[in-house]
Amino acid sequence: MTEVTYPKLSDTPTSHLPFSPVIRAGDFVFVSGQASVDASGQIVSDTFEGEFRRSVENLRKVLAAAGCTLADVIQTRNYVRDASDVVEYNKLYREYFTEPYPTRTTITNCLPPTLRYEIEAVAVVKS
Instruction: Show me where the domains of the chain are located.
Output: 4-124
d(CA 3, CA 25): 6
Strand 73-80 and strand 103-108: pairing?
A: parallel
Say which residues have a Cβ less than 8 Å from residue 38's Cβ, sequence separation at least 6. 13, 44
pLDDT per residue rounded down to tens, the chain (127 residues): 788 878 887 777 777 777 788 999 999 999 999 999 988 888 999 999 999 999 999 999 999 999 999 999 999 999 999 999 999 999 999 999 999 999 999 999 999 999 999 999 999 998 6
CB 74 within 8 A of CB 123: yes
What is the CATH T-level fold of the domain 4-124, as seen in this structure?
60s Ribosomal Protein L30; Chain: A; (3.30.1330)
pTM, two decimals, is 0.92
Q: Is 104 helix (H, G, I), strand (E, B) or coil?
A: strand
